[in-house]
Amino acid sequence: MREHTANRVFDTANFIVLLVSTLICLAPFLHIAAISLSSAGGILSGKVSLLPVDLNVEAYTKVFTDASMIRSLGFTVLLTGLFTVLCMVMTIAMGYPLSKKKLRGRKGFMFVVLITMFFSGGIIPEYILVRNLGLLDSIWALVLPGLINPFYLIILISFFNNIPESLEESAEIDGSSHFRTLVGIMLPLSMPVIATLSLFYAVGRWNGFTDTLMYITSPELYPLQLKLYQLIQNNMITDLLQNEGAQMATVVPESLKAASVIFATVPILIVYPWLQRFFVSGVMLGAVKG
């Protein structure tokens, strides 16, 4: 009886802590959303908290009809898709052979992988390398330098190690090549971790900012995060309001900035529910070595 009561108290405490943590995480997002949907008067009076004041969608109308924002969205989708696909191809191509204990030089390769988790070449050497390769101001400057994440690679290797070797041995007896075994057996069994790592790569690239700030100068190659930076820090928000003097009474820069933030955040949030069912199993199975 005491154990049952203790479990209930523990579960209740967990629920309260998780609820409070969730509300703390949601509050800033809800506040930004409320500002984006509020009237100019409500925003300037400081009455907006977590709910809109005098509902107004004019800010979203301006954002969705701005050609530069739509162009940045399209480029970000292309960049994220290309980056995620290439990252998974490279991570799988490196993770599968490194999961084989009989691979010659395996410990040396793993040592190199682990070293990169703790030490990096630095921002300036990386910039010089990208410049010398002729990748500045191109999409490849945002793709090639980060194709393999060492931590994600280790998760994938651990997942491959959990798959029974008997399956591969059976395929080998049937005359299957290593590539065919990888594509026909290993990858279908690894969909949870593949979906999870794809989500990690996609979110990381979608929210990437530092490398875009260093490598990209052409406005047509601005991802959404760099576009937001230009809007908020350099006051380029006035470009969205030019020739709209009649609407200045209902739209203020704060509402346009907030609408732009929501515009850049929602697309990647939509992807998460589709991959959520793989998320927990992918992380847990990839983190436990059998």
- Rounded to an integer, the average pLDDT of 168-197 is 85
- Rounded to an integer, the average pLDDT of 199-227 is 91
pLDDT for res 277: 66
- Fill in the amino acid letter for 4: H
- Rounded to an integer, the average pLDDT of 108-115 is 89
pLDDT for res 214: 93
Dist. CA 284–CA 280, nearest whole Å? 6
pLDDT at 245 > cutoff 70: no
What is the per-residue pLDDT across 217-239, written as a single tens digit (0 to 9) for each?
998 899 999 988 888 776 556 56
Q: How confident is the model at residue 87 (pLDDT cuts 50, 70, 90)?
A: very high
Dist. CA 278–CA 290, nearest whole Å? 19
pLDDT for res 89: 96
- Rounded to an integer, the average pLDDT of 89-109 is 90
What count of residues does the chain have? Answer: 290
pLDDT at 246 > cutoff 50: no
pLDDT for res 235: 56
Q: Is 0.85 surpassed by the pTM of this model?
A: no
The residue among 96 and 271 whose pLDDT is bigger is: 96
CA distances from 201 to 26, 152, 197, 206, 274 (A): 23, 9, 6, 9, 15
Say what percent of the chain tops pLDDT 90: 34
State the DSSP code for 101: T
pLDDT at 88 > cutoff 90: yes
Say what percent of the chain tops pLDDT 70: 88
Q: How confident is the model at residue 286 (pLDDT cuts 50, 70, 90)?
A: very low
Q: How confident is the model at residue 1 (pLDDT cuts 50, 70, 90)?
A: low
| Average of per-residue pLDDT values in the chain | 84
What is the per-residue pLDDT across 136-180, written as a single tens digit (0 to 9) for each?
999 999 999 989 999 999 999 998 888 888 888 788 887 888 888
State the DSSP code for 136: T
Q: How many degrees, rounded to 5, is the angle at CA 234 between CA 232 and CA 237?
A: 55
